[in-house]
Structure 1
Amino acid sequence: MSGLPKSCSRIFLNGIIYFGTNHGKIVAVNCSSNGLDGGPWPKYKRDNFNSGRQ
């Protein structure tokens, strides 16, 4: 993998995590996750729509 992660990662329902690097590339990593946890605040800025307070 080239470059350090620069952006917040996203986990999609298919178990792939996407993030951007400081070299301007998008990296996809396959994992065993089924997406975000079902809790009320599973990630920074609340959900995949970033609807939490800033």
Structure 2
Amino acid sequence: MKTLIELKKRIIDKNTSFTFLAKKDGRSRQYLYKECKKGNQKVLEDLYKILLTM
């Protein structure tokens, strides 16, 4: 199960930002952050996929 904390760690490892991921995803940063904080696995999976392609 993926979490927002794990996502933040990967973002730091890749030297990027959450805002950059939101732009790549096409949804608003506020919406994505809110859904990640809730633990929405579908949104987290989408963001992990974007990170893996970088």
Query: Bigger relative contact order, structure 1 or 2, given CA contacts below 8 A and separation 6+?
Result: 2
More helix per residue: 1 or 2?
Answer: 2
| TM-score strictly above 0.5 | no
Point out the structure with max Rg over C-alpha. Answer: 1
If the length of structure 1 is used for normalisation, what is the TM-score?
0.27
More strand per residue: 1 or 2?
Answer: 1
If the length of structure 2 is used for normalisation, what is the TM-score?
0.27
